[in-house]
Amino acid sequence: MLSEAPIKLVDATAKYLRAPVEPRWYLAYGSNLSTSGFLVARHITPLAKKVVLAKGIELAFDHHGIPYVEPRFANIRFVRETVPEFDLEKEWTGRGALLGVAFLLTPQDFVQILKVEGAGTLYQPLEVQANVVSEYNRVLEETVDVYTLMTEERRTRPGQASLRYMSLIRNENKMPPSYIRYLESTPHFTPISTRQQWGLSVVRATWARFMFFFFRKMAQYADKDGNLPIWMKTTRATIHGCMWFAYDWFEKWVFGDGEVS
């Protein structure tokens, strides 16, 4: 029987989240599945890791990133359709549950990840009980309590993640073959036309520089509880909003679609 435990929205300022006294499981599902970018660059060595399946939440590419460069980032949404059983030998549909990797982290590393990822500023922490997936791609009754992050900053119209971003998700951590095939079949954004390629060059040289700067600096400026200074949150939100305003009202008319190939 798979876990039916409720999904809990966690107060990002709660002491038990910000000051854990024992190792915690952190569930990665997007670009944070990249070992080099997520763990090595942050000098974090997990105590253990497991491929897991979490019912009640699904993978969604609806977090608006940077047009032409990274149009969509991975996100979580609550399930729209209940699926009673999961057989990873069959084709994965993306519905009913989330597949990811749970990393067991020391208290210090867990807090560091929350700061880097923007818990409480960009993302809402969640606690969910997930079933472990065996090396033979079977969903076990063994469960772990994991913490993960989702954002309500969603783009409602269609958009695609880049090939680079999709490759980070599928190429590491020995995910089930059915899940890899699902990701390979998911359309990704590629600037095809000359206009789109010009748009990519312009955004890389302007907006993307500012946004990646803020992504890198969030952990540096966060306090011990992971909170960012008001000025930094305001500046980041302003730049992000201006970037998408410029795209909606100017760039997409000049350079073409920067969200869907």
Q: Give the active site residues.
A: 117
Q: Is 134 annotated as a binding residue?
A: no
Residue 174: name the closest of 44, 24, 50, 39 by CA: 50
Type of residue found at 95 = R
Contact 239, 210 (CB under 8 A): yes
Q: Is 136 annotated as a binding residue?
A: no
Residues belonging to the chain:
261
Distance spanning both ends of the chain, measured CA to CA: 41
Long-range contacts, 227-233 (Cβ 8 Å, 24+) = 227/13, 227/120, 227/121, 228/118, 228/121, 233/121
Contact 67, 258 (CB under 8 A): yes
**d(C-alpha 97, C-alpha 54), whole Å:** 5
Q: Is 200 annotated as a binding residue?
A: no
Torsion of CA 47, 34, 237, 59, to 10 degrees: -90
**d(C-alpha 60, C-alpha 78), whole Å:** 10
Which residues are within 8 A (CB) of 236 and not within 5 positions of it... i.e. 6 or more apart?
214, 228
Q: Is 26 annotated as a binding residue?
A: yes
Contact 149, 119 (CB under 8 A): yes
Read off the DSSP letter of residue 252: H
Type of residue found at 117 = E
Q: Is 19 annotated as a binding residue?
A: no
Residues in binding site for substrate: 26-31, 165
